[in-house]
Amino acid sequence: MSQTILEIKNLYVNYHTRQGDVKAVSNLNLTLDKGDKFGLVGESGSGKTTLANAILRMIKPPGYIPEGKINLDGTDVLSLSESDLRKFRSTSVAIVPQAAMNALNPVRRIGQQINDAFVDHGVKLSKSELNDRLAELMLTVGLRSEVPRLFPHELSGGMKQRVSIAMAVSLNPKLIIADEPTSALDVVVQRQVIDTLDQVQEKYGSTILLVGHDMGLMAQFSNRLGIMYAGELVEIGSSTEIFSKPNHPYTEILISSLPDTKTKRKLVGIPGLPPTLINPPTGCKFHPRCPKVFEPCSDLVPEKEIIDEKSFFFCHLSTINNGKVDKKIVGTK
């Protein structure tokens, strides 16, 4: 039986602005099991990084969490004290950041930086134990054993990113959040970084939440996918099901934007721009851009359509397909 590691219930995250609150994450529900490789996809500004920061309790003012629950391996994340938060980070949840260069201290050797996390979390290692642990971590992420003696500027972008992965797994956390870890890397190195995450997951059995907008990388890595639009999870399912039969028009368009070398079909872009989240569109938030928009979409919020225990989506088309409403197409865009 699968073991739940992360459970998020009815989560909202807002940012105060002079014009009003930006509703960056709205009524979000998500469950991840042990060993899941979950891909969280969406355009920039869809709320992916805000969600990742909420799990890490890193939402800073003017951001705030008005409502919701985050439970990670039995810990109520939102009620942790500041001192418990320090222990919680790295041992329960760790992050592989977007830009490894900015995350590494330029004036400390890699080994010293990894050791800082051990010291900070009360892990006492002798010099030889530390060297063994560093060598094991380097081996896991495919780096040479001398890398701990180097400074960040002596490493390439891909090596730095693999060092970040080594740091993230150094205290064997239950959940690793990789926030667009391959941005700014070339495609060959992107593949190596994703393969490294795969190896780490296999070795430690960690649950990985990979945040990104590249459907190709997601297809390569994830066993489950969540599609975010305007602060909401609009579809969740197994990667195989979603790629073979997407239920939400937004998911469909994201998949159509992937090049296909076999059929050489025309690439389709997403019309329009993501909405402002101070005053999001009424009804289905995707309706101003949806090629399948019809009468109820601009007024009524779609209900959750459950496919199975772990798969659902939000779209009025399902109610049409179930014969509950008449389809009146009012426009295609």
Residues forming the site for ligand SF4 (CB under 6 A): 248-249, 284, 286-287, 290, 292-293, 297, 302, 315-317
152 vs 302, beta carbon nearer ligand SF4 = 302
Smallest distance from ligand SF4 to CB 312, Å: 14
What residue ranges in the chain does DSSP mark as E strands? Answer: 4-15, 22-33, 37-41, 63-72, 75-76, 93-96, 175-179, 207-212, 224-229, 232-238, 304-308, 311-314
In whole angstroms, how close is the CB of 284 to ligand SF4 at the nearest point?
Answer: 3
Beta carbon nearer to ligand SF4, 225 or 297: 297
Nearer to ligand SF4, 89 or 316 (CB): 316
- Residue 88: CB atoms within 10 A of its CB come to 19
The CA-atom distances, in angstroms, between 138 and each of 28, 113, 114, 163 are 37, 13, 11, 8
At its nearest, how many Å lie between ligand SF4 and the CB of residue 159?
42
- Judged by beta carbon, residue 54 or residue 317, the one nearer ligand SF4 is 317
Q: Which is nearer to ligand SF4, 22 or 290 (CB)?
A: 290
Q: How far is the CB of 321 from ligand SF4 (least distance, A)?
A: 11
Which of these, 58, 52, 13, 30, lies nearest to 179 by C-alpha position?
52
Looking at the Cβ atoms of 224 and 292, the one nearer to ligand SF4 is 292
Instruction: Please state, in angstroms and rounded to a whole number, the distance separating the CA atoms of residues 156 and 162.
Output: 10
Task: Report the nearest approach of ligand SF4 to the CB of residue 301 (Å).
Answer: 9
Residue found by looking up tokens 């329009």 in the block: 272
CA–CA separation, 47 vs 52, rounded Å? 9
Tell me how far, at minimum, the Cβ of 274 lies from ligand SF4, in Å.
Answer: 14
User: How far are the Cα atoms of 103, 107, 121, 189, 292 from residue 82, in angstroms, in the given order?
Assistant: 21, 28, 14, 37, 47
Take residue 220 and report the two structure tokens written for it.
């390569």
